[in-house]
Amino acid sequence: MEHALDSPAWAAFRQFVLSLGFSDVAAAPVQPVKRAQAVKDWVAAGHHADMHWYARGLEKRLDPRLVVPEARSIIVLTMPYHPEPVTLAGKKLARYACGDDYHDVILKKLKLCTAWLSERVPDSATRHYVDTGPVLERYWAQESGLGWIGKNGNLISRREGSYLFLASMVTTLRVPYGTPHLDFCGSCRACIDACPTDAIVADGVVDARKCISYLTIEHRGPFEDAPDFSDWLFGCDICQEVCPWPNKFSQPTAEPAFLPREAYGELTEEGLAAMEQADFSATFRKSPIKRTKIAGIQRNLEHLQSKNE
């Protein structure tokens, strides 16, 4: 069998992927990353803050053949998350984090996609990733034609907006390719103007050191001179909320695991501040919020309260 998926086989793969709850899939040929210098500059400027793992994995990110030798294609998949505003203990919570952890939910489905490919072409090799792999997911999503990287740094689909998770598959298979997506931001700069911490330092370039999402999720230890988080307790969606694209076109998620948890609405500020480890583990079981650990979420709450005093 040829080491490729022809159009009918790709159509069957697409059908399979959509049946798992992904909303779109497209592919790009493996080529040197055209924006490699922009990524290197991002790291050189220290925009990755304390995410040292990012700098360590840079070579692989810029060359998918270091991930899968003889890789020919990168397949990118999108999965919508809950598009409406959500709260936790009366404070703002990033939409992506209101349900179960997407890494776990999507990985299970990706395994099935990889199995589908290797069953079809047994001597092919495919590796799949969601978020944590050394793959520039937004870049390849744009290259494959799923959408464009907006000035807010997010991948925006004209059909679905940007409240989407991305996942990727690096494969030795040749598959039908999409065409790189055009940029539809035009002269708009609503996200840059709305970011309360001026974290979008150039078009599409986010300085994590200033970004509320980084500070509330990834930063460890106490805050020194942290800005006002505008009531965001975990993550931040401001630069997407003001974007005309997601607001107009977002559809409800079809994945029940990504729906908001009722308990989050019932939790009070006092309840969260006084929460003990066992309660934290039970409340945030399988949730992305457990990433900050109890110390992180209580630190974030204290920070919001100190700014409101």
Please say if 6 is a catalytic residue. no
* Amino acid letter for position 20: L
Alpha-carbon gap, residue 242 to 194, rounded angstroms: 7
**Interface region with ligand SF4, contact rule CB under 6 A, candidates 40-48, 62-70, 234-242, 279-287:** 234-242
Residue with tokens 């080529």: 31
| DSSP at 186 | T
Contact flag: residue 97 with ligand SF4 (CB under 6 A): no
Considering only residues 206, 294, 297, 301, which one is a binding residue for ligand SF4 as defined by CB under 6 A? Answer: 206
Q: Pick the catalytic residue: 6, 101, 104, 131?
A: 131
| DSSP at 181 | P
Q: Dihedral of the CA atoms 234, 166, 102, 280 (nearest 10)?
A: -20
Of 230 and 298, nearer to ligand SF4 (C-beta) is 230
Tally helices (H) and strands (E) across the chain. Answer: 14, 11
Give residues 211-240 in contact with ligand B12 (rule: CB under 6 A): 211, 213-214, 218, 235-237, 239
Considering only residues 206, 233, 267, 304, which one is a binding residue for ligand B12 as defined by CB under 6 A? Answer: 206
Considering only residues 238, 267, 289, 294, which one is a binding residue for ligand SF4 as defined by CB under 6 A? Answer: 238
Token pair recorded at residue 83: 């598009």
Site string for ligand SF4, 129-158 (x = CB under 6 A): ---------------------xxx------
Q: Which residue number is nearest to ligand B12 in terms of Cβ? A: 204
Alpha-carbon gap, residue 175 to 186, rounded angstroms: 32
Considering only residues 67, 113, 135, 275, which one is a binding residue for ligand B12 as defined by CB under 6 A? Answer: 135
Give residues 242-271 in contact with ligand SF4 (rule: CB under 6 A): 242-245
Binding-residue total with ligand B12 (CB under 6 A): 38
Of 5 and 229, nearer to ligand B12 (C-beta) is 229
**Interface region with ligand B12, contact rule CB under 6 A, candidates 9-17, 38-46, 174-182, 268-276:** 38-46
Contact flag: residue 241 with ligand B12 (CB under 6 A): no
CA angle 294, 299, 302 (to 5 degrees): 130
Written as one string, the DSSP assignment of 24-92 is EEEEEE----TTHHHHHHHHHTTTTTT-HHHHHTHHHHH-GGGTSTT--EEEEEEEE---S-EEETTEE
Of 142 and 213, nearer to ligand SF4 (C-beta) is 213
Alpha-carbon gap, residue 289 to 287, rounded angstroms: 5
Residues 218, 47 contacting (CB under 8 angstroms): no
Considering only residues 28, 71, 93, 164, which one is a binding residue for ligand B12 as defined by CB under 6 A? Answer: 164
Of 117 and 149, nearer to ligand B12 (C-beta) is 149
Token pair recorded at residue 278: 């066992």
**Interface region with ligand SF4, contact rule CB under 6 A, candidates 23-31, 166-174, 240-248, 270-278:** 240-248
Considering only residues 6, 19, 31, 38, which one is a binding residue for ligand B12 as defined by CB under 6 A? Answer: 38
Q: What are the Cα distances from residue 26, in Å, to 58, 95, 198, 293?
A: 24, 25, 33, 36
The residues carrying an active-site annotation are 131
Where along the sequence are the contacts to ligand SF4 (CB under 6 A)?
150-152, 185, 188-191, 195, 197, 199-200, 206, 211-213, 236, 238-239, 242-245
